[in-house]
Amino acid sequence: MSFLKKLKEKFTQQQEPDSSPEKFKDGLTKTRVSFSERVNNLVARYRKVDEEFFEELEEVLIGADVGVSTVMELIDELKTEVKRRNIQDSKDVRSVISEKLVDIYQGEDAESPKLDIQEGRLNVVLFVGVNGVGKTTTIGKLAHKLKSEGKSVLLAAGDTFRAGAIEQLEVWGERTGVDVIKQSAGSDPAAVMFDAVQAAKARKVDVLLCDTAGRLQNKVNLMKELEKVKRVIEREIPFAPHEVLLVLDATTGQNAMVQAKQFSQATDVSGIVLTKLDGTAKGGIVLAIRNELSIPVKFVGLGEKMDDLQEFDAEQYVYGLFADLVEEA
């Protein structure tokens, strides 16, 4: 049985509309329609798998924002695999592509990366990222997710400079029934974090989610500010923050890669949250980030609803990317 058919068999058993595989399938519609159309056109033009076929496939993958170095690696592995399996018909390459995409994403990781939330401690998650990527919305959605899993949550309004940022977080606090620790606009973000940690300790909450400023145009000051925030948190809670999540907007494509490189150079980013994946036809950026920066994508935003923030799963992602081709596999 081909890899695509195995994915179909695995995920079509979960028929509920709100199941995670269906959310990936729906959320990746724009990328899938664009990608499937181009792959199908390629297969229709090339009955045989030759060098020209691979050259055009290269263009298709780069067009989906998979990233040049990732595409080069993928094409090399595909050529080896096609030769090893003696694949002649171009239609049969589709399943091998899907298989290799999962391999490239997962690497040596057997399981999808989970958020490092442990019982019996105050878990601190620090969110970083430029303004406008959906950072505050992501914090609100994650608060909803954690609370629905039975965890107690507190929010820290550490973005004290952007107009309306504190109020925006408060709105999410009201929606999710989670308290927000704040100071006045323009306050020292590190002071807000100190207050938030003390409040979280006193209330014995499970998870503290911390918002931060995102003025990348003033990069040096911003990065110094983030370091100060991290020092304050670590001083109060050894080994915290337990996660530093970089929020990126998938619709910005390769610009998201630039941001990821800048933040990962300045702070210890432990995972990526890729927002607005449903709004782009270039969803291959997930693979580029994972493969080129070795930072796992932990969550993806697949819609506007409160529960549309999904834990990233490489197989579900590839299923969402190839679902239209599975029918013909």
pTM over cut 0.75: yes
8 annotated as ligand-binding: no
Question: Does one domain contain both 207 and 245?
Answer: yes
The three-class DSSP label of residue 180 is: strand
**pLDDT over 70 (residue 326):** no
The number of residues in the chain equals 329
135 annotated as ligand-binding: yes
Judge whether 8 lies within some domain.
no
Judge whether 1 lies within some domain.
no
324 annotated as ligand-binding: no
Question: Does one domain contain both 129 and 151?
Answer: yes
212 annotated as ligand-binding: yes
Question: Does one domain contain both 148 and 244?
Answer: yes
pLDDT at residue number 145? 95
CATH of the domain at 260: 3.40.50.300
Question: Does one domain contain both 138 and 286?
Answer: yes
* Domains: count for the chain: 2
The three-class DSSP label of residue 156 is: strand
Q: Which domain holds residue 82?
A: 20-108+317-326
131 annotated as ligand-binding: yes
pLDDT at residue number 110? 42
> What CA–CA distance (Å, rounded) separates 196 from 38?
50
pLDDT at residue number 264? 82
User: Mean pLDDT highest for which of 11-25, 211-225, 286-300?
Assistant: 286-300
133 annotated as ligand-binding: yes
Mean of pLDDT values over 176-205: 96
215 annotated as ligand-binding: yes
CATH of the domain at 61: 1.20.120.140
**What percentage of the chain exceeds 70 in pLDDT?**
89
Q: How confident is the model at residue 329 (pLDDT cuts 50, 70, 90)?
A: very low
Output phi, psi for 133, to 5 deg. -90, -10
Exposure letters 278-300 (e unless 16+ CB within 10 A, then b): bbbbbbbbbbbbbbbbebbbbbb
Which of 68-82, 122-136, 253-267 is predicted with the least confidence, judged by mean pLDDT?
253-267
Judge whether 132 lies within some domain.
yes
pLDDT at residue number 1? 53
280 annotated as ligand-binding: no
Q: How confident is the model at residue 322 (pLDDT cuts 50, 70, 90)?
A: confident
Question: Does one domain contain both 164 and 235?
Answer: yes
214 annotated as ligand-binding: yes
Amino acid identity of 102? V
276 annotated as ligand-binding: yes
* 236-269: pLDDT as tens digits: 999 999 999 999 998 887 788 888 888 887 778 9
Question: Does one domain contain both 308 and 322?
Answer: no
**pLDDT over 80 (residue 220):** no
Question: Does one domain contain both 170 and 99?
Answer: no
Question: Does one domain contain both 269 and 186?
Answer: yes
